[in-house]
Amino acid sequence: MTALCDLSLTALSRALARGEHESSAATEACLARAADTKGLGAYLLIDAEGARRQAAAADLRCRAGQRLGPLDGVPLALKDIFLTAGLKTTCGSRILEDFVAPYDATVVRRLKDAGAVVLGKLSMDEFAMGSSNEHCAFGPAKNPWDPTRVPGGSSGGSAVAVASGSAFAALGTDTGGSIRQPAALCGVVGLKPTYGRVSRYGVIAFASSLDQVGPITKDVSDCALLLETIAGHDPKDSTSAPVLAASATEGLEAGVKGLKLGVPKEYFVAGIDPEVRTAVERAIATYAGLGADIVEVSLPHTEYAIATYYLIATAEASSNLARYDGVRFGLRRDPGRGVRDMYLQTRARGFGPEVKRRIVLGTYVLSAGYYEAYYDRAQKVRTLIRRDFAAAFAKADLLVTPTSPTPAFRLGARLADPLQMYLADIFTVGCNLAGIPGLSLPCGFANDGMPIGLQLLGPAWSEATLTRAGRAYEREHDWSRRRPPLARP
Amino acid sequence: MSFEAVIGLEVHAQLLTRSKLFCGCATAFGASPNVHTCEVCLGMPGALPVLNREAVTLAVRAALALDCTVHERSQWARKNYFYPDLPKGYQISQFDRPLATHGHLDLEVEGSARTIDILRIHMEEDAGKNVHDDVLAGSRSYVDFNRGGVPLIEIVGAPQIRSGAEAAAYMRELRRTLRFLDVCDGNLEEGSLRCDANVSIRKVGATTLGTRTELKNINSFRFVAAAIDFEIHRQIAVVEAGDAVVQETRLWDAQAKVTRAMRSKEEAHDYRYFPDPDLPDLVLTAAAIHSARATLPELPAAKKERFVDALGLTAYDAALLTEEPELCRFFEAAVAGHKNAKGIANWILNELLREARGQPLAALKLTPESLAELVRLIDDGTISGKIAKDLFAELVTAGGAPAALVKERGLAQLVDTAGIEATVDAVLAANAGSVAAYRAGKTNILGFLVGQVMKASGGKANPKIVNEVLRRRLG
Ligand SMILES: [Zn+2]
């Protein structure tokens, strides 16, 4: 028999609406599962008391016939990058270890207004810098399919919680693949919306021109549902677009007949794991069988994407992380020898090695004498990459690619080699550089049982097409319904 | 060997908005520390800036008044440096794509006209204020972020100024312009107008620039000329002694009346400017710029010219009346109520400024409308100048409508000859000695007798009629 917490969000929502289940029971099931899977390290903080209170309130509303909507009473969890008023928000860093957020992020407010139950805060690479969740200052999260492997990152805890059933869905953030890559490695669904689709207000910034908030869910229907709640213009975020994009839930089941799917030839070259390649090619064949037209497209500047991404992202990060100086909030180490020493000690103790590496890199990129060669040039290449995608979308409605070049790798395997780690983002960063949406969904398993992810990319504001195409594929397979063996103590 | 100075001024002006540049906090001066702060202006994690369009309106108005080209697209940039009063670790400013460029400011220096080019005007947010008060803080320092995020424009003038006097004239003209535009209150002491000066010297006739120093902390009008002239002479002395001027930032010490070098470490900055990814470009349509230009208020120089040409004021009075917007507005409002501009100007410049004793005009009970009414009552002969002066003092402190007060208290001049004749007769009867002296040829005693009659009438008798009657009686 399926445990309550193994239902999909959509199924739970229907059951709550029909009075078949109560939010309190669903919340207890998640809390119990979180306790059972504690060893996976998904949660940095569990707010059991707050969650029970919110669930009880949701049950009261439901019994009174005043259910707020499909998310009312649904237990969710948040990557610890979202500010949650009154709850610690660490961003996976020592420098914010005791930081209690003074206000709610806009997306958190939207979830609360929709009646969602917030279970707690999820593990992540420090300041979202990483592709394995190993750069979390409070220890790594582990892949529920094999706890000796990484869950991906930086939204690793979010993917682990959803895959292992300790939350019905989670919010993550994606700067270069941080939603899609862990979703792929943990066998769940992750969406990075169009830049500007979801408010960044109250989301701790890594690289402002690339960061975007999105759902990590058990299936594509859940993803569409959650997107509808969090998306929309926010006057507090000047980069949030006042665009009325098409609904992702309407027309979800309409299929892909006649849809043109582009296969970028540069994404199927050396370095890609053969099992990943085979799984993705099979998925493409499935689409062809469903009536989609498959066309080859080219993204000629793909080879520069990683370099471009790391120049821009680190430059912005070096500036975004300057506010962690020990003056107003967070960690302060003050040896009493003046403000310069306070800065040095606070930041030396507060930031981990990967964050320091990126601050140094970003500072260098923006420095006098190097700005033109690095930052300025990276911006020009970014424009070329954007044009590549625009040209591809003139030929195809969506692009189909692998999400990650390999399935989940072993914990520690890439820690010593940052460059190798950065290559985990090779298929995902282009989407952030171009500001377009990308969806990752399960498309099979490797022989060793590790999940493989399929990535769909679309032009700006095409989330409805992405989820429709994702849903069409999902109906053909049971990949999304498979659950990992639980790592019980 | 003779030298000339090359001076360029960078002026920061605080825009008169109600709220800060990127959040809703108040800009009010003088509140308790950190009262006017929020997650945005404290640089809390996750907080994002939202542009205050009111600040843009004021910045554009200033730029147009200085005849700048206002760009339809300008860009926000981050200026990165660490300092405790800078919450985000960067200041949101504008760098290589500023709001406006290529303007100029016309001024008068010792009677001759000068034009100083404005290189650029850009917008930026202010920093907070470090508090190192030993009594308050002991060995610690505190930061007050009330000022953090307040909107500023930086006006960068070309290095075309040649002396402290010219610099002072430039600052005065700039201040006057910004105040008449309602863009900035121009208060140097409170820091709403700040002046940094780049000063260098070179041999007369040379075309290259010498090594410059940057002069900061000139926080009073009295110091602009003094600080710059000191620095010019210091540099000349350095060069004449065979040494080289060092490029550095120097602070004006108002007590010692000297400039002092700041520690050079503090200025070795690479600000790593780059476009702020949290803010879209600042876009202004050509139509919006056009309409801002069309609705620019009349500038003080134009007002002065009009006051002379159309209202018949002396150049001197017109200059005085266009120095301060408050005074000028009072004058123009009064003239709107009664057309005797010269009479009103005299009352304002002679009586009103004396009675005001430095208080703001808005604090006085006298309104421009009541001054206009008072002058009209004089001009149509209803009251005497003497009565008017008494009434004026009362209007300043207690207010009221002059015409009604005159009527209520019977202060109108006596113009009825029979009544005045009776008063004259009574005065003559009481001053027989003076009458005799007059008749004996001491005719200058007439003034005394006029005074006696005026006194007896309570100041209300028309002095012209009194004179006529007296002469007739004594004749
Ligand atoms: Zn504020």
Give the model confidence (pLDDT) of B183-199 as tens digits.
999 988 888 999 999 99
**Residue A286 within any structural domain of the chain:** no
Distances (CA, A) of A130 to A85, A376, B34, B119: 26, 24, 37, 45
C-alpha triplet A340, A346, A349: angle, nearest 5°:
135
**Residue A473 within any structural domain of the chain:** no
Q: How far is B45 from chain A (nearest CA, A)?
A: 5
From the CB of residue B447, how many other CB atoms can be counted at a distance below 10 Å?
10
A238 contacts in chain B (CB < 8 Å): 48-51, 278-280
A355, A224: one domain: no
Please give the model's pTM, rounded to 2 decimal places.
Answer: 0.91
Structure tokens at A20: 């078949």
A309, A251: one domain: no
Q: Which residue in B132, B144, B274, B283 has the most chain A C-beta atoms within 10 A of its own C-beta, making it the best mutation to test that interface?
A: B274
Residue ending a domain, among A356, A379, A402, is: A379
Report the C-alpha gap between B125 and B79 in whole angstroms. Answer: 11
Q: Given CA atoms B363, B364, B370, B371 in this order, what sign does their dihedral have?
A: negative
Note the ipTM here.
0.96
Q: Which chain B residue is nearest to residue A207, measuring alpha carbons?
A: B277
Residue ending a domain, among A379, A410, A432, is: A379
Distance of CA B419 to the CA centre of its chain: 52
> Is B191:B219 a contact under the CB 8 Å cutoff?
yes
- Is the pLDDT confidence value at B416 over 80? no
Confidence of residue B267 (pLDDT cuts 50, 70, 90): low
Number of domains in chain A: 2
Segment B347-371 mean pLDDT: 86
DSSP state of A143: B
A232, A96: one domain: yes
Higher pLDDT, A185 or B389: A185
Show the low-confidence residues of chain A (pLDDT under 70).
Answer: 1, 486-489
**Residue A385 within any structural domain of the chain:** no
**Backbone torsions φ then ψ of A339, nearest 5 degrees:** -70, -30
Query: Which 3 state secondary structure label does DSSP give A327?
Result: coil
A375 contacts in chain B (CB < 8 Å): 274
A240, A309: one domain: no
A22, A108: one domain: yes
Distances (CA, A) of B83 to A339, B4, B45, B250: 8, 37, 17, 19
pLDDT tens figures, A120-131: 999 999 999 999
Of B46, B78, B88, the CB nearest to A203: B46
Interchain contact A343–B (C-beta under 8 A): yes
Q: Which chain B residue is nearest to residue A326, measuring alpha carbons?
A: B84
Interchain contact A205–B (C-beta under 8 A): yes
A193, A75: one domain: yes
CA proximity to B61, closest of B349, B319, B291, B360: B291
Of A237, A323, A366, the CB nearest to B272: A366
Report the C-alpha gap between A175 and B438 in whole angstroms. Answer: 105
Confidence of residue B133 (pLDDT cuts 50, 70, 90): low
A149, A8: one domain: yes
The fold adopted by the segment(s) B417-474 is Arc Repressor Mutant, subunit A (1.10.10)
CA proximity to A166, closest of A53, A48, A29: A29
A33, A135: one domain: yes
A204 contacts in chain B (CB < 8 Å): 45-46
> Is A252:B292 a contact under the CB 8 Å cutoff?
no
- Is the pLDDT confidence value at B268 over 70? no
Q: Percentage helix, strand, coil, to 5, in chain B? A: 40, 20, 40
Query: Which 3 state secondary structure label does DSSP give B359?
Result: coil
**Backbone torsions φ then ψ of A163, nearest 5 degrees:** -65, -35
Report the C-alpha gap between A334 and A327 in whole angstroms. Answer: 10
Q: What residues of A act catalytically?
A: 79, 154, 178
Structure tokens at A70: 């499909």
Residue B264 is predicted with a pLDDT of: 57
- Is the pLDDT confidence value at B356 over 90? no
Residue B263 is predicted with a pLDDT of: 65
Q: How far is A434 from chain B (nearest CA, A)?
A: 14
Residue B182: which region, alpha, beta or left (left: phi > 0; alpha: psi -120 to 50)? Answer: left
Interchain contact A237–B (C-beta under 8 A): yes
Interchain contact A239–B (C-beta under 8 A): yes
Q: Which chain A residue is nearest to residue B81, measuring alpha carbons?
A: A322
Segment B109-113 mean pLDDT: 87
**Backbone torsions φ then ψ of B302, nearest 5 degrees:** -70, -40
A226, A155: one domain: yes
Residue B40 CA to ligand 1 centre (angstroms) = 5
A323 contacts in chain B (CB < 8 Å): 43, 45, 87-89
**Residue A351 within any structural domain of the chain:** yes
**Residue A352 within any structural domain of the chain:** yes
Confidence of residue B132 (pLDDT cuts 50, 70, 90): confident
> Is B37:B167 a contact under the CB 8 Å cutoff?
no
CATH 1.10.10.410 domain locations along chain B: 417-474
Cis preceding-peptide flag for A23 (omega within 30 of 0): no
Q: Which residues surround ligand 1, an ion (CB under 5 A)?
A: B 23, 25, 38, 40-41
pLDDT tens figures, B455-467: 888 877 887 888 8
A23, A124: one domain: yes
Segment B48-54 mean pLDDT: 97
A309, A195: one domain: no
Report the C-alpha gap between B304 and B326 in whole angstroms. Answer: 15
Cβ of B43 within 8 Å of Cβ of A323? The answer is yes
| CATH number, domain with residue A58 | 3.90.1300.10
Residue ending a domain, among A379, A400, A423, is: A379
For A198, residues 6+ apart whose C-beta sits below 8 A from its C-beta are A107, A212, A213, A214, A227, A230, A231, A232, A240
Interface list for chain B against chain A, based on CB atoms closer than 8 Å: 39, 42-51, 78, 80, 82, 84, 87-90, 141, 143, 270, 272-274, 277-280
Structure tokens at B6: 């090359």
pLDDT tens figures, B202-257: 999 888 888 999 998 788 888 899 999 999 999 999 999 999 999 888 998 888 88
Domain with A373 in it: 303-379
A346, A245: one domain: no
Residue A488 is predicted with a pLDDT of: 43
Residue A1 CA to ligand 1 centre (angstroms) = 54
Distance of CA A222 to the CA centre of its chain: 14
Interchain contact A348–B (C-beta under 8 A): no
**Residue A478 within any structural domain of the chain:** no
Structure tokens at B154: 């930086």
**Residue A84 within any structural domain of the chain:** yes
**Residue A399 within any structural domain of the chain:** no
